[in-house]
Amino acid sequence: MNKVKGLIAATFAAYKKDGSIDLDAIPLYVEYLIEQNVSGVFVCGTNGEGPNLTVEERMAITEKYINSVAGRLLVFVHVGHSSITEAKRLAAHAQEHGADYISSVSAFYFKPSSVANLVDCMAEIAAAAPKLPFFYYHIPALTGIQIDMIQFLQLAEQKIPNLAGIKYTAVTIHEYQACLHYKEGKFDILFGYDELLLPALAVGAKGAIGSTYNYAAKLYAQVMAYFEEGKLDEAEKLHFEAVQMIQLLVKYGPIPTQRAIMKKVGLDLGTSRLPLVSLSEEREQNLYADLAQPDFLSLVKSC
């Protein structure tokens, strides 16, 4: 199995004014991302508000992305759900319609009680799409599941034949590095914290999935190029530009802020569903003013 390289954009949900999903926005979104030179899309995940959508909506979004991409990008479908039965439905659907990969978070209401319990849950989901490589989506900040990922790999490789690796969205770089080196790099460990991409590159990352790659992929790609060329000072300075932007996500709220940025770059994706809320007009304008201080958007376009 070839490992994934480059940047995968974790896409945002698109809604119409009445709150229903906007499938018609997806083809334009895909063309925009192709222009950003990303390697693929990760749909119905955290930024795609997967947990806020019905299973039927997630299936419709998956089909639209696969059809719109038409083989030009890798398509990762997040199938995680608090109901394993529903996650299995999503996994089987993704396989049926031609996704390249599936991924799942842990159940986040009734939570697995041990590493073995988590592996059993993921094994059931992965088995519903046996032809697709499966990535466990490790995001403890949202799921609350703090377990040893090396232990996970040790047990999961015995029970999940189609295990490809981990979507590693945590700040523990040392554990991430240990997973990369597990059995001489047996599994693909994709990094998920955009603001730590450069440190992740330093310990061996080759592929990453993130939200800011939707609109700043070219900047991060240049960071990766500088790193590969040994131009570490240039890589650090450019990476810090991204870090300063990401600090605004903390200030204004990650998903609402980035949806406002997407609107600024020409893709109005509508208003998020509760409990997520969009920025007020005043906060949106304040955000744009903050972005203009280092002229971040112009920098992104120039990369």
Q: Is 64 a catalytic residue?
A: no
* Residue 252 annotated in active site: no
**What pLDDT is recorded for position 294?**
78
| Domain boundaries along the sequence of the chain | 6-229
pLDDT, residue 45, reads 97
CA atoms in the 13 A half-sphere facing the CB of 80: 30
> Which helix (H) or strand (E) is 136 found in, with range?
strand 134-138
Q: Burial of 220 by CB count in 10 Å (0-12 exposed, 13-18 middle, 19+ buried)?
A: buried
Regions in the chain scoring below 50 on pLDDT: none
Contact 70, 40 (CB under 8 A): no
Per CATH, the homologous superfamily of domain 6-229 is Aldolase class I (3.20.20.70)
Residue 6 Cα distances to 108, 113, 205, 221, angstroms:
29, 34, 9, 8
pLDDT of residue 297: 81
pLDDT, residue 32, reads 97
CB 208 within 8 A of CB 192: yes
Looking at residue 166, what is its pLDDT?
Answer: 98
* Residue from 167, 182, 220, 252 carrying the catalytic annotation: 167
pTM of the model: 0.96
Cβ atoms 67, 91 nearer than 8 A: no
Q: Which of 236, 239, 272 is nearest to 17 (CA)?
A: 272
**pLDDT at residue 250, as a whole number:** 87
Please tell me whether 66 is known to bind a ligand.
no
The pLDDT of residue 174 is: 97
Could you tell me the end-to-end alpha-carbon distance of the chain, in angstroms, rounded to an integer? 32
Catalytic residue among 137, 176, 213, 220: 137
Residue 209 parent element (H or E): strand 207-210
CB 57 within 8 A of CB 94: no
Question: Would the CA dihedral through 182, 185, 190, 191 be positive or negative?
Answer: positive
Can you give the C-alpha Rg of the chain in angstroms?
A: 18
Q: Residue 76: beta bridge partners?
A: 42, 101
Q: Is the separation of the CB atoms in 180 and 204 below 8 Å?
A: yes
